[in-house]
Amino acid sequence: MSARAKATLAASFAFSTFIIWAVHYQQSREREDMFQGVIRDDARRLEKMRQREEEFRASSRKREVYEQVQTVVSGDQSNQN
């Protein structure tokens, strides 16, 4: 084998190795980015649930106050009059 052929073979091997490494590195980065997206989605979902629960508590407190202040008539009793 000539020196030029050996150099070409070595360069091809090095280039192929670099390409394979780069593809694996890119895949691992994308996988990590996707995982971070899942973590952000979970945090966003938990925050939304917390806000809805707080709104429900506030609504329940308002309802209790309104029921103490106002007369509440059920649907069955209003039809009998």
Q: DSSP string covering 32-55, please?
A: HHHHHHHHHHHHHHHHHHHHHHHH
CA distance linking residue 19 with residue 51, whole number of Å: 48
CA distance linking residue 38 with residue 46, whole number of Å: 12
Scanning the structure block, which residue is given the tokens 């070409």? 8
pLDDT tens for the chain, 81 residues: list them. 899 999 999 999 999 999 999 999 999 999 999 999 999 999 999 999 999 999 999 999 999 998 888 876 776 665 555
CA distance linking residue 33 with residue 24, whole number of Å: 14
